[in-house]
Amino acid sequence: MSPAKKVPPIDFTKFEERIGVVFSDKGILRQAFTHRSYINEHRESGLEHNERLEFLGDAILELSITDFLYHKYPEENEGELTSYRAALVNTNTISDAAKLLGMGEFLLLSKGEAKDEGKGRQYILANTFEAVIGALYLDQGYECADDFIKKTLFPRTDEIVEKGLWKDAKSLFQEMAQEYLGITPTYKVIREAGPDHDKQFTIGVYLGKDLVVEGEGKSKQEAEQSAATLGLKAKGWDKVIIK
């Protein structure tokens, strides 16, 4: 049997200092930052990827956020609380929190994944954030994991609720367009590319006859949401607070 390859000497001390937690099991912290692609390139490293930790962390995150919102908004109904939670645990919000903690500095990735700084990296950071929650739970217990979530995500709640960011982008863009311009946006497919199993759609969002921006996605729905998100930024409506 071939000997295990030497694992890169990543020092997680800085990360532990940032979150105020010293892990008893350094191996589980390393696992939280190990992406499947790294294992595929280093099969003899002896490491495990972080997907099981991510699965665990996702459940803990949902429980923590649900408990917080339930007590913070006692008058809100189930539908609105669900929307608030979705906004707090979506990829954009979580990956932004991961970036603020500098998680990207500690990732173990394949050479190919390491070069991708786009949407793929955003998903990896979000998944790693959840994996870290899972690692905190196993190493330190629920209270520690919950405290980490409180510090990193709870402060974003007021802005999300006040600015209406809990609404999906299409609904918010339509609401803004009707309020400020008296126009209902329309969406049109501009381009389709790729084979049937891997389509890429480009969709434009229009206000009247004017094209505002184009959005891309692997489905028409995803491309429309992308166009609406970019449209909110283009019109400066992403900074407007909904009354």
- The binding site comprises 54, 127, 130
Name the β-bridge partners of 189: 203
130 is catalytic: yes
d(Cα 146, Cα 54) in Å, to the nearest integer? 15
Catalytic pick from 62, 116, 130, 146? 130
In degrees, rounded to 5, the angle at the alpha carbon of residue 167 between the alpha carbons of residues 164 and 171 is 110
Reference 159, options 234, 76, 241, 53; nearest CA is 241
CB of 88 within 8 A of CB of 156? yes
Reference 237, options 185, 193, 174; nearest CA is 174
Specify binding-site residues for Mg(2+).
Answer: 54, 127, 130
Task: Give 146's contacts (C-beta < 8 A, 6+ positions apart).
Answer: 60, 64
Angle between helices 142-152 and 51-72 (to 10 degrees): 70
Catalytic pick from 11, 41, 44, 58? 58
d(Cα 33, Cα 105) in Å, to the nearest integer? 10
Catalytic residue set: 58, 130
